[in-house]
Amino acid sequence: MFTQNSDIALSSLVITKFKAYFQLLKLRLSLLVAFSAGVGYWLAPRSGEINWANCLLFLLAGVMVTGASNTLNQIIERYSDRLMKRTMNRPLPTGVLSVFEASVFAGALAIGGIFIMLQYFTFHAALISFVSMLLYAFAYTPMKTRHPIAVFIGAIPGALPPMIGWLAVTNQYGLEPGILFAIQFVWQFPHFWAIAWVLDEDYQKAGIKLLPGNGAQDLRTAFNIMIYTLMLIPLGFVPYFLGMTGITSAFVALICGVLFLIQTLYLMRDCSRKAALMIMFGSFIYLPIVQIAFVLDKVVVN
């Protein structure tokens, strides 16, 4: 009987630990980041057809490196996470996992992901993946409690995945990966600021400062969100002018950009949490639709 109870307890502990590691990974976010890296991978010029086995391997490496970044982020923020309602039940604040366990997990993911990039893809893809992880964990994360410039810093690693995808195929920098970076870079400002507006009360408990200027939920912040959203409209046409995609995706980007911009005008008029929430969800919709349009248009053009 004692042995049976011990086995049950051990099984329960293993399941609890597994779920906790899964939480550290933030699989949904990691998959979204890997997908945006895949966009660069699919758009990059290559001789012959896409090797789908290599494509899946690249996405796996992306999930691993992103998971390592997310885990390092949670290690650094474990104390502030205890103060916020949406994060207080994460594995480190609750003590389900120790810092050592999380660190080993992050190290294994990082080493595995970077090794795959080096072994099966290109040096520059591995290098930028590593730099992105360092910027996210050790520059953006600690800066969140110090200055709103954290959004600018965080937008850099956040915009690198499509460039990494391009480099994984070509191992070359240029205007094409640059515009993929630029679109995702600019998109992150309305995205992050809308989230910061919606979660402002929770963020204040942890001393997180992401809203621009004086950090107020006012017309000035709404205007900043509008300006960066407006910039997305001309940027959406550049892949077409560079010959990366066809005209159809440019018009899809235009329509999505205009609809996104309309949401920011509503925020400027209303300055409410509801309006900011609409922008937050709008940002989640804008980027994947535009990126999918680029990929599908590339397939049709070719």
Domain residue ranges in the chain:
11-173, 175-302
The answer to whether the Cα torsion of 71, 76, 79, 82 is positive or negative is negative
Q: Is 296 or 47 the better-scoring residue by pLDDT?
A: 296
Residues 109-137 have pLDDT tens digits of: 999 999 999 999 999 999 999 999 999 99
Note whether 163 and 181 are within 8 A (CB): yes
Nearest to 159 by CA among 228, 101, 246: 228
Q: What is the pLDDT of residue 195?
A: 94
Nearest to 157 by CA among 48, 62, 49: 62
Residues 35-60 have pLDDT tens digits of: 999 999 999 998 777 888 999 999 99
Count of positions (residues) in the chain: 302
Which residues fall within 8 angstroms of residue 231, CB to CB, at 6 or more apart?
186
pLDDT at residue 1 greater than cutoff 70: no
Instruction: Give the CA dihedral 239, 242, 244, 250, nearest 10 degrees.
Output: 40
> What integer is the mean pLDDT of 147-171?
95
Residues 189-226 have pLDDT tens digits of: 999 999 999 998 889 888 888 999 888 889 999 999 99
pLDDT at residue 7 greater than cutoff 70: no
Q: What is the pLDDT of residue 17?
A: 85
The second-level CATH assignment, the architecture, of 11-173 is Orthogonal Bundle (1.10)
Q: How far apart are CA 31 and CA 29, in angstroms?
A: 5
Instruction: Give the CA dihedral 174, 44, 51, 115, nearest 10 degrees.
Output: 30
Q: pLDDT band at 90, cuts 50/70/90?
A: very high
Note whether 226 and 269 are within 8 A (CB): no
Q: What is the pLDDT of residue 9?
A: 58
Note whether 165 and 39 are within 8 A (CB): yes
Angle at 255 between CA 250 and CA 261, to 5 degrees: 120
Q: Which helix (H) or strand (E) holds 229?
A: helix 219-235
Instruction: Give the CA dihedral 88, 100, 106, 12, nearest 10 degrees.
Output: -70
Q: What is the pLDDT of residue 209?
A: 87
Q: pLDDT band at 176, cuts 50/70/90?
A: very high
Residue with tokens 């993946």: 129
Q: What is the pLDDT of residue 14?
A: 76
Reduced to 3 states, what is the DSSP secondary structure of residue 76? Answer: helix
The chain-wide mean pLDDT, for the chain, equals: 92
Nearest to 37 by CA among 109, 128, 107, 154: 128
Burial of 231-250, coded b for 16+ CB within 10 Å and e otherwise, reads bbbebbbbbbeeebbbeebb
CA of residue 230 relative to chain centroid, distance: 21
Burial of 31 (0-12, 13-18, 19+ CB in 10 A): middle
